[in-house]
Amino acid sequence: MIRALLTALAAALLYLSAAEAAAAPDPYTAPIPAIGASWYPEQWPEARWDTDLALMRRANFTVVRVGEFAWSRLEPRDGRFDFAWLDRAIAAAARHGIRVVIGTPTAAPPIWLTEAYPDVLRVNEDGSVEGHGERRQFSFASATYRRYATRIAGELARRYGRNPAVVGWQIDNEIGVPSFDREAKAQWALWLAARYGTIDALNRRWTTEYWSQRYDRFDQVPLKSRGPHNPALMLDFRRFVSTVWADYVGVQAAAIRAHADRRQFVTTNSTSWNNNFDQYLVHRDLDIAAWDDYVPNGRPDWAANALHHDLVRGYKNRNFWVMEAQPGRVDWASLNRSLEPGQVREIAWQAVGHGGDAIVYWQWRSAFNGQEQYHGTLLGPDGEPMPIYEEIARTGAEFAAAGRHLAGTIVPRAEIALIYSQESRWAIENERHSRDYDPVAALKDWYRPFAAAGRAVDVLSPSADLSGYRLVLAPNLNLLDEATAAWLETYVRSGGQLVLGPRSGMKDRDNGLWRQRQPGPLSGLLGARVDYYYPLDEPERIHGDVGVATVNTWAEVLDPRAPDVKTVARYTGGSGWLTGRPAIVSRPAGRGSITYVGAMLDVDGQEQLTAWMTARAGVSGPVIAPVAGLEVMERQDARTRYLILINHNDVPVVVTLPAKGRLVLGDLRGSELPAHGVLLWAISRSK
């Protein structure tokens, strides 16, 4: 376990490059785009299975996910495995032309395991112990649990790793909850020792003289997720948790690959903006990424959802799966409103447009009992289709028709990259300094104008390969180490246009303040620094090359130091610390430029900033003239570009399509795309 943690720590310091990820083989054999549902045959009489599978085929389903909560059925006693029922379920699915993703059942341990080894149960930060009957009640740090989890994963793979009906594996289900038990604390001390080498180094880098926090041994350092506490400890807690989860996923992946053939992918399913661990690290040992796309309030924010698809695609820089999606509604929101007619279909097509190769609905049929009996399903408890069934069946028919076109296609590399730093997000959220400063909301604000204009954006880690991008945006790069700064400087001097947002370069790798002011190690390249920062409780204004705009929540005053620094915008009006001072500055460097935006802008201001940035960087114009609420996405292969258009509006819109193309499928009526309409347009690529 110690060796695994040390190995994982070393890997945590180096992410896979985008080029390496893109070059990885892609042998997976699921139909593309695939559509299906989570199916729990263990919950229903076997005599019902063929009826269910026939209804799935009528809905044009091509895949089901099974097994992720069935540990007590798969291993009813310690070491006694019962796979016969799963054999029959997989065979039944195959007879109906449906392929299978198997979930390792480790999110819900059987009671014989937790009774025999109560130390595997998760200990919450308040000292309470989770009991049986929920899920994720295990300790991610437990060696005993790890041993049993790896064994069941390996036994499943031994049996189904070469089954032609099985196309992939999902490890666990929605991982992320840490434990504060004795083993976790012991591993925390070992992790710190591996990271810092000596306790003196930790004390120095954490500035533990503050509040008499100095430690004599690593095992004295508390394991804490909540402050107020040393910001370095708060950040390292997150890093430690990420390392343990990456190892947890990695050992199951290894157990599966020991028996599975290369046709079968290995993934895990994450949740929207999951903040429990570093996604890039946890996906290190996986083949593809997958996430669970839910709209709990029933009112989709299409641009925000598009951003998250792009984020997930960036975990591995390749196509991904939506492993759970809602068939109408959920049951865990404060108000579980259903999606409107047409929206389930458009959400499915949006996933495909951003690189999704499958959408799997949760779940197939309402369970008679259990904690999620009110959740949306395709069939009711009576086994008959629910109202959403026909819309999903239509989507499945379209996926089948599109399959021969979209198989083997990818989302082409964009001209614009948006940097997402999980560590910077943690650092800001730990010390917001303004209740309204939300780093995820800031990412959405920067992304929206590009989506509205029909311009694609790749979302990347700070260490990704940036070569070839015309414009790189870093709205929240709060933590900026010297290596990343050097990487960004190389990008700029090689001809790139880098735009930093507020709070960039405040912190070093240990979540400590840089000796120089913002943007820390990039201040020399910028030729300017942030003189001071001001949380706002009322709006301010700026004017300049980006027009006139309103500033909300956060304002920074820039201090140009080099003669070639250009002030792009200044604060105006009122009185006080901001008036007349630079809010946005830019400087040429090598063949490129670096810009610092010190203000959080309103919607109109962000749109004006976007127009200024794209024009300056020479970003290509959109393929289709922008229309409010019309999303334009692209997938391609060597021969054809495929445009996927979705009208997210409640009214029809007029679209102007490229002349040299043809309609593959969709709702186009003349030049109009109806409300919530979808179309797929093919353009042959020039030789």
* CA separation for the pair 242, 246 (Å, rounded): 6
Q: Give the DSSP H or E segment for 144.
A: helix 143-160
Contacts of 483 (CB under 8 A, 6+ apart): none
Active site residue 174: yes
Residue 13 is predicted with a pLDDT of 34
Mean pLDDT value of segment 1-15: 39
pLDDT band per the 50, 70, 90 thresholds, residue 290: very high
Mind listing the pLDDT tens digit for each residue in 365-393? 988 887 788 888 999 999 999 999 999 99
Q: What percent of the chain has pLDDT over 90?
A: 90
Contacts of 363 (CB under 8 A, 6+ apart): 37, 38, 39, 40, 372, 375, 377
Lowest mean pLDDT among 300-314, 326-340, 479-493: 326-340
Contact between residue 460 and residue 420 where contact means Cβ atoms under 8 Å apart: yes
Contact between residue 488 and residue 521 where contact means Cβ atoms under 8 Å apart: no
Q: 527's torsion region: left (phi>0), alpha (psi -120 to 50) or beta?
A: left
Mind listing the pLDDT tens digit for each residue in 235-281? 999 999 999 999 999 999 999 999 999 999 999 999 999 999 999 99
pLDDT band per the 50, 70, 90 thresholds, residue 18: very low
pLDDT band per the 50, 70, 90 thresholds, residue 687: low
Q: What domains are defined for the chain?
A: 1-30+62-167+176-265 (3.20.20.80), 416-617 (3.40.50.880), 630-684 (2.60.40.1180)
User: Per-residue DSSP letters for 438-503?
Assistant: -HHHHHHHHHHHHHHTT--EEEE-TTS--TT-SEEEETT--B--HHHHHHHHHHHHTT-EEEE-TT
Q: Which of 102, 156, 109 is nearest to 360 (CA)?
A: 102
- Cα–Cα distances (Å) from 461 to 325, 423, 465, 475, 521, in that order, read 25, 10, 9, 13, 18
* CA separation for the pair 278, 282 (Å, rounded): 6
Contact between residue 629 and residue 648 where contact means Cβ atoms under 8 Å apart: yes
pTM of the model: 0.94
Q: pLDDT at residue 16 above 70?
A: no
Residue 24 is predicted with a pLDDT of 38
Residue 333 is predicted with a pLDDT of 85
Q: pLDDT at residue 201 above 50?
A: yes
Mean pLDDT value of segment 9-29: 41
Q: pLDDT at residue 452 above 90?
A: yes
Active site residue 324: yes
Mind listing the pLDDT tens digit for each residue in 535-559? 999 999 999 999 999 999 999 999 9
Contact between residue 198 and residue 205 where contact means Cβ atoms under 8 Å apart: no
Mind listing the pLDDT tens digit for each residue in 33-52? 999 999 999 999 999 999 99
Contact between residue 403 and residue 32 where contact means Cβ atoms under 8 Å apart: yes
Mind listing the pLDDT tens digit for each residue in 626-670? 999 999 999 999 999 999 999 999 999 999 999 899 999 999 999
Q: What percent of the chain has pLDDT over 70?
A: 96
Residue 235 is predicted with a pLDDT of 98
pLDDT band per the 50, 70, 90 thresholds, residue 26: low
Mind listing the pLDDT tens digit for each residue in 599-620? 999 999 999 999 999 999 999 9
As given in the structure block, the two tokens for residue 256 are 């599966």
Residue 133 is predicted with a pLDDT of 82
Mind listing the pLDDT tens digit for each residue in 509-539? 999 999 999 999 999 999 999 999 999 999 9
pLDDT band per the 50, 70, 90 thresholds, residue 27: low
Catalytic residue (one of 75, 183, 324, 415): 324
Q: pLDDT at residue 21 above 80?
A: no
pLDDT band per the 50, 70, 90 thresholds, residue 487: very high
496: amino acid identity, one letter:
G
User: Per-residue DSSP letters for 269-314?
Assistant: EE-TT--SS-HHHHTTT-SS-EEEE--TTS---HHHHHHHHHHHHH
Mean residue pLDDT of the chain comes to 94
Q: pLDDT at residue 169 above 90?
A: yes
